[in-house]
Amino acid sequence: MSLFDSRFYDLYIHPGSSYPIARIASEAQRFGYSGIAIINSAITDRDEIPQNFSIYRGIGISCKPSRLREEIKKHKGGIEILAVPGGDEELNRVAVETEGLDLLMQPAQFNNVLAKAASDNSVAIGFDLGSLIRLRGEARVRELIIMRVNLKHARKYNLSMILTSNAHSIYDIRSPREMAALAGLFGMTKEEAVNAMSETPLGLLKRKNPDYIQEGIEII
Amino acid sequence: MKTRPTLRDKKRYVAFELVSDQIITRQELIKEILNSIYSLFGDIGCSEINPWLMTFDGKYGIIRCAREKTTETRAALACMNNLRGVRMSILVLGISGTIKGATEKFIQNTLIKELEPEKKE
């Protein structure tokens, strides 16, 4: 059995408000995904979404570090995936120390203190492969260095990693095998990459289920 | 003189589909593929990958690469996102050891898959 037989999810797709989501959904299904999460966009054309394909909603919170804690608390406990695009150290620090956050995307200046806090609050670290696709030259080198550092800390502190395409349109979606190849550029192994696209997102989505109580507890 | 079989480069053929809403010519695509590989792996990496566009019919095509470098080729193809301002992306359909295998297994299959719903109607 091949590694790539699992179900794949992309949890950070970021189209503009007017972009047809059904088109993204059908394209993502053709590329081999079983579900996607749309950030900060209402799902209007739900009827046209292909069968056997799930679409989740996500909230991307970008604000000042001082307001971040309140914003996360406001949305905490809902069914939407809470994501914060990473920034400087101050913002990352507030994000990983607040309980209830699910995903911190591509944090720059990540360090062991932040990694430990993220591990305590079970915040997943997102790798934005879209930046590798869109950027060239010096800017891409910088992103690769950030990803290498994040990977090192995620391995050391057993953080959950999530690979996302951060797609703005259908032309930014890449199939799982290509995502794994891109992840290989900064040292991620194939197994880790597959886990970051199938098992970890599934676990995160399970946590968002209204029936879910706490880690290790379930109603029989 | 012909190279001895044991000394020949071992190759793989990558079947791909171009996703774009505008017409892209063969020359433009070759240039963009080489450009993407250069910017990602540099001159040495490009010489190791030894890429070449074998066929391209406007939508489906086959790229040749070295046997050990299929992952790198995938990564370089995934990094292509626009060509002279036109948005495009490449979906790798599969990798095979022969051109015949790549065409029969991946490209013709895809054509059949797309035609089927029309037949039912």
| Average pLDDT of the residues in B32-47 | 94
In the predicted model, what is the mean pLDDT of chain A?
88
* pLDDT reading at B113 higher than 80: no
Q: Is A186 on the interface with B (CB under 8 A)?
A: no
Is the Cβ–Cβ distance between B51 and B64 less than 8 Å?
Answer: yes
Residue of B90, B48, B96 lying closest to B72 (CA atoms): B48
Are A158 and A115 within 8 A, CB to CB? no
A169 contacts: CB under 8 Å, gap ≥ 6: A15, A19, A24, B87
Look at B19 and A171 and tell me if their CB atoms are within 8 Å.
yes
As given in the structure block, the two tokens for residue B91 are 């979906």
Q: Does residue B51 carry a pLDDT above 90?
A: yes
CA-CA distances (angstroms) from residue A93 to A75, A90, A200? Answer: 19, 5, 22
Which chain B residues are within 8 Å of A176, Cβ to Cβ? none
Contact residues on chain B for A137, CB-CB shorter than 8 A = 39
Domains of chain B as residue ranges with CATH: 8-120 (3.30.70.3250)
The pLDDT > 70 percentage for chain A reads: 99
A3 in B contact zone (CB under 8 Å): no
CA distance A108 to chain B (A): 22
Maximum average pLDDT range among A6-15, A23-32, A43-52, B41-50: B41-50
pLDDT at residue B16 tops 80 = yes
Q: Is pLDDT of B117 > 60?
A: no
Cα angle A42, A45, A49 (rounded to 5 degrees) comes to: 110
Please tell me the total number of residues recorded for chain B in this structure: 121
A135 contact B CB<8A = no
Contact call for A172 and B92, based on CB within 8 A: no
The position carrying tokens 């911190």 is A104
- The pLDDT mean for chain B works out to 89
Eight-state DSSP code of residue A111: -
Output the CA angle A13-A18-A208, nearest 5 degrees: 40
Residue A133, number of CB atoms within 10 A of its CB? 23
Cα separations in angstroms, A153 against A79, A110, B93: 28, 8, 34
**Radius of gyration of chain A measured on its C-alpha atoms:** 17
Euclidean distance between CA atoms B54 and B61, whole angstroms: 7
B19 contact A CB<8A: yes
**Contact between residue B25 and residue B84 where contact means Cβ atoms under 8 Å apart:** no
| Helical axes A199-208 vs A190-197, angle rounded to 10° | 20
Task: Note the ipTM here.
Answer: 0.86
Confidence of residue B36 (pLDDT cuts 50, 70, 90): very high
Say how far residue A71 (Cα) sits from the centre of its chain: 19
Walk me through the domains of chain A, giving residue ranges and CATH numbers.
7-208 (3.20.20.140)
- The conformational region for residue B19 under phi > 0 = left, psi -120 to 50 = alpha, else beta, is beta
CB of B81 less than 8 A from some CB of A: yes
